[in-house]
A = this chain, B = another copy of it.
Protein backbone atom coordinates (compact mmCIF):
# COMPACT_ATOMS: atom_id res chain seq x y z
CA UNK A 1 0.00 0.00 0.00
CA UNK A 2 2.54 2.56 1.15
CA UNK A 3 4.83 0.83 -1.30
CA UNK A 4 2.65 1.53 -4.30
CA UNK A 5 2.60 5.30 -3.85
CA UNK A 6 6.34 5.22 -3.22
CA UNK A 7 6.78 3.17 -6.35
CA UNK A 8 4.98 5.76 -8.39
CA UNK A 9 7.34 8.39 -7.01
CA UNK A 10 10.36 6.60 -8.53
CA UNK A 11 11.13 6.94 -12.22
CA UNK A 12 10.47 3.67 -14.00
CA UNK A 13 14.15 2.68 -14.49
CA UNK A 14 14.82 3.19 -10.77
CA UNK A 15 11.75 1.14 -9.88
CA UNK A 16 12.92 -1.61 -12.23
CA UNK A 17 16.45 -1.68 -10.80
CA UNK A 18 15.08 -1.84 -7.26
CA UNK A 19 12.85 -4.72 -8.35
CA UNK A 20 15.76 -6.62 -9.90
CA UNK A 21 17.97 -6.08 -6.86
CA UNK A 22 15.21 -7.24 -4.52
CA UNK A 23 15.28 -10.64 -6.23
CA UNK A 24 18.79 -11.23 -4.90
CA UNK A 25 19.05 -13.28 -1.71
CA UNK A 26 19.05 -11.34 1.55
CA UNK A 27 18.20 -8.06 -0.18
CA UNK A 28 15.08 -6.34 1.10
CA UNK A 29 13.35 -3.27 -0.25
CA UNK A 30 15.47 -0.89 1.84
CA UNK A 31 18.81 -2.38 0.80
CA UNK A 32 17.68 -2.50 -2.82
CA UNK A 33 16.80 1.20 -2.66
CA UNK A 34 20.13 2.09 -1.08
CA UNK A 35 21.98 0.11 -3.72
CA UNK A 36 19.97 1.67 -6.56
CA UNK A 37 20.67 5.18 -5.28
CA UNK A 38 24.34 4.31 -5.00
CA UNK A 39 24.40 3.29 -8.67
CA UNK A 40 22.49 6.47 -9.57
CA UNK A 41 24.92 8.71 -7.75
CA UNK A 42 28.05 6.89 -8.86
CA UNK A 43 30.07 7.08 -12.05
CA UNK A 44 28.57 5.68 -15.25
CA UNK A 45 31.73 3.59 -15.59
CA UNK A 46 31.11 1.86 -12.28
CA UNK A 47 27.58 0.98 -13.33
CA UNK A 48 28.81 -0.42 -16.65
CA UNK A 49 31.41 -2.53 -14.85
CA UNK A 50 28.81 -3.93 -12.50
CA UNK A 51 26.45 -4.72 -15.39
CA UNK A 52 29.28 -6.33 -17.37
CA UNK A 53 30.34 -8.41 -14.37
CA UNK A 54 26.79 -9.76 -14.03
CA UNK A 55 26.69 -10.70 -17.71
CA UNK A 56 30.20 -12.20 -17.77
CA UNK A 57 29.56 -14.40 -14.79
CA UNK A 58 26.70 -16.03 -16.68
CA UNK A 59 28.49 -16.21 -20.01
CA UNK A 60 31.99 -17.21 -19.00
CA UNK A 61 31.54 -19.37 -15.92
CA UNK A 62 30.56 -23.00 -16.31
CA UNK A 63 31.03 -26.29 -14.49
CA UNK A 64 34.30 -28.15 -14.73
CA UNK A 65 33.80 -31.23 -16.97
CA UNK A 66 35.54 -33.42 -14.39
CA UNK A 67 34.63 -32.18 -10.91
CA UNK A 68 31.72 -29.73 -11.47
CA UNK A 69 33.53 -26.92 -9.73
CA UNK A 70 32.68 -23.50 -11.19
CA UNK A 71 35.35 -22.40 -13.61
CA UNK A 72 36.14 -20.28 -16.63
CA UNK A 73 38.57 -22.88 -17.99
CA UNK A 74 37.86 -26.58 -18.46
CA UNK A 75 39.14 -28.60 -16.69
CA UNK A 76 39.28 -26.27 -13.72
CA UNK A 77 42.59 -25.09 -12.25
CA UNK A 78 42.29 -27.54 -9.36
CA UNK A 79 41.76 -30.59 -11.60
CA UNK A 80 44.69 -29.63 -13.84
CA UNK A 81 47.06 -28.65 -11.03
CA UNK A 82 49.92 -31.16 -10.98
CA UNK A 83 50.71 -30.41 -7.35
CA UNK A 84 47.34 -31.76 -6.24
CA UNK A 85 46.79 -35.41 -5.41
CA UNK A 86 44.16 -36.56 -7.87
CA UNK A 87 43.96 -39.97 -6.18
CA UNK A 88 42.04 -38.35 -3.35
CA UNK A 89 38.57 -36.93 -4.08
CA UNK A 90 36.70 -34.80 -1.56
CA UNK A 91 32.98 -34.90 -2.30
CA UNK A 92 30.95 -31.79 -1.52
CA UNK A 93 27.40 -30.73 -2.22
CA UNK A 94 27.95 -27.27 -3.70
CA UNK A 95 30.71 -25.13 -5.20
CA UNK A 96 30.44 -22.90 -2.13
CA UNK A 97 31.48 -25.80 0.09
CA UNK A 98 34.53 -26.31 -2.11
CA UNK A 99 35.45 -22.64 -1.71
CA UNK A 100 35.19 -22.89 2.08
CA UNK A 101 37.46 -25.89 2.13
CA UNK A 102 39.94 -24.25 -0.27
CA UNK A 103 40.08 -21.24 2.03
CA UNK A 104 41.76 -23.40 4.66
CA UNK A 105 44.58 -24.17 2.22
CA UNK A 106 44.90 -27.56 3.93
CA UNK A 107 43.47 -29.98 1.41
CA UNK A 108 45.84 -31.07 -1.34
CA UNK A 109 43.58 -33.53 -3.16
CA UNK A 110 40.85 -32.79 -5.71
CA UNK A 111 37.08 -32.39 -5.47
CA UNK A 112 33.80 -33.63 -6.83
CA UNK A 113 30.79 -31.36 -6.54
CA UNK A 114 27.47 -33.22 -6.45
CA UNK A 115 25.46 -30.05 -7.22
CA UNK A 116 22.99 -30.95 -4.50
CA UNK A 117 22.16 -33.77 -2.15
CA UNK A 118 19.65 -36.61 -2.17
CA UNK A 119 16.28 -35.42 -0.99
CA UNK A 120 13.59 -37.86 -2.21
CA UNK A 121 10.85 -35.92 -0.41
CA UNK A 122 11.58 -32.98 -2.69
CA UNK A 123 12.19 -35.13 -5.73
CA UNK A 124 15.99 -35.05 -5.73
CA UNK A 125 17.14 -38.51 -6.86
CA UNK A 126 20.68 -39.80 -7.60
CA UNK A 127 20.24 -39.01 -11.30
CA UNK A 128 19.71 -35.34 -10.44
CA UNK A 129 23.21 -35.16 -8.97
CA UNK A 130 26.61 -35.72 -10.57
CA UNK A 131 27.01 -39.15 -8.98
CA UNK A 132 27.28 -41.02 -12.29
CA UNK A 133 30.23 -38.80 -13.27
CA UNK A 134 31.87 -39.45 -9.91
CA UNK A 135 31.61 -43.21 -10.40
CA UNK A 136 33.05 -42.84 -13.90
CA UNK A 137 36.06 -41.01 -12.48
CA UNK A 138 36.57 -43.88 -10.05
CA UNK A 139 35.97 -46.70 -12.52
CA UNK A 140 37.93 -45.23 -15.39
CA UNK A 141 41.12 -43.33 -14.52
CA UNK A 142 41.08 -41.69 -17.94
CA UNK A 143 38.00 -39.77 -16.73
CA UNK A 144 39.75 -38.54 -13.59
CA UNK A 145 41.98 -35.48 -13.35
CA UNK A 146 45.28 -36.08 -15.16
CA UNK A 147 44.21 -39.75 -15.60
CA UNK A 148 45.26 -40.57 -12.04
CA UNK A 149 43.47 -43.61 -10.52
CA UNK A 150 41.31 -42.80 -7.46
CA UNK A 151 42.29 -44.38 -4.17
CA UNK A 152 40.31 -42.46 -1.54
CA UNK A 153 36.99 -40.72 -1.41
CA UNK A 154 36.32 -38.27 1.43
CA UNK A 155 32.71 -37.40 2.18
CA UNK A 156 32.42 -33.66 2.85
CA UNK A 157 28.63 -33.49 2.98
CA UNK A 158 26.67 -31.29 5.32
CA UNK A 159 26.12 -32.93 8.72
CA UNK A 160 22.35 -33.18 8.54
CA UNK A 161 19.68 -35.67 7.50
CA UNK A 162 19.99 -35.19 3.73
CA UNK A 163 23.78 -34.98 3.86
CA UNK A 164 23.95 -38.17 5.87
CA UNK A 165 21.62 -40.10 3.59
CA UNK A 166 23.55 -38.90 0.55
CA UNK A 167 26.69 -40.15 2.29
CA UNK A 168 25.10 -43.55 2.96
CA UNK A 169 24.08 -43.84 -0.68
CA UNK A 170 27.64 -43.06 -1.81
CA UNK A 171 29.16 -45.53 0.66
CA UNK A 172 26.86 -48.19 -0.73
CA UNK A 173 28.02 -47.34 -4.25
CA UNK A 174 31.68 -47.56 -3.15
CA UNK A 175 31.29 -50.94 -1.49
CA UNK A 176 31.98 -52.88 -4.69
CA UNK A 177 34.90 -50.60 -5.53
CA UNK A 178 38.23 -51.12 -3.78
CA UNK A 179 38.77 -47.61 -2.50
CA UNK A 180 38.93 -46.08 0.95
CA UNK A 181 35.91 -44.03 2.03
CA UNK A 182 36.33 -41.51 4.85
CA UNK A 183 34.33 -38.53 6.01
CA UNK A 184 35.25 -35.18 7.53
CA UNK A 185 35.49 -35.36 11.33
CA UNK A 186 32.57 -34.18 13.41
CA UNK A 187 32.72 -32.76 16.90
CA UNK A 188 32.75 -29.59 18.89
CA UNK A 189 33.55 -26.62 16.66
CA UNK A 190 36.82 -24.90 17.55
CA UNK A 191 36.28 -21.60 19.30
CA UNK A 192 32.82 -22.53 20.61
CA UNK A 193 31.93 -23.57 24.13
CA UNK A 194 30.62 -26.91 25.36
CA UNK A 195 27.89 -25.11 27.25
CA UNK A 196 26.09 -24.13 24.08
CA UNK A 197 26.82 -27.22 21.99
CA UNK A 198 23.72 -29.16 20.92
CA UNK A 199 23.07 -32.74 21.93
CA UNK A 200 23.92 -33.91 18.40
CA UNK A 201 27.25 -32.08 18.45
CA UNK A 202 28.14 -33.56 21.83
CA UNK A 203 27.09 -37.03 20.71
CA UNK A 204 29.42 -36.74 17.69
CA UNK A 205 32.19 -35.48 19.97
CA UNK A 206 31.86 -38.39 22.38
CA UNK A 207 31.49 -41.05 19.74
CA UNK A 208 34.39 -39.72 17.67
CA UNK A 209 36.70 -38.99 20.60
CA UNK A 210 40.35 -39.02 19.60
CA UNK A 211 43.25 -40.49 21.51
CA UNK A 212 45.70 -37.89 22.73
CA UNK A 213 49.15 -38.06 21.21
CA UNK A 214 52.02 -38.12 23.70
Contact = CB atoms under 8 A, between A and B. Distances in A.
A94 to B, nearest CB: 8
Interface residues of A, number: 59
Given A11-B72, A26-B31, A61-B40, A52 B51 contact: yes
A16 B78 CA distance: 19
Interface stretch (A98-106, A183-191, A198-206): A98-106
A33 to B, nearest CB: 8
Interface stretch (A2-10, A133-141, A146-154, A163-171): A2-10
15 contacts: A11-B76, A14-B70, A17-B54, A20-B50, A20-B53, A21-B50, A23-B46, A26-B31, A26-B34, A39-B54, A40-B70, A47-B58, A48-B55, A51-B52, A51-B54
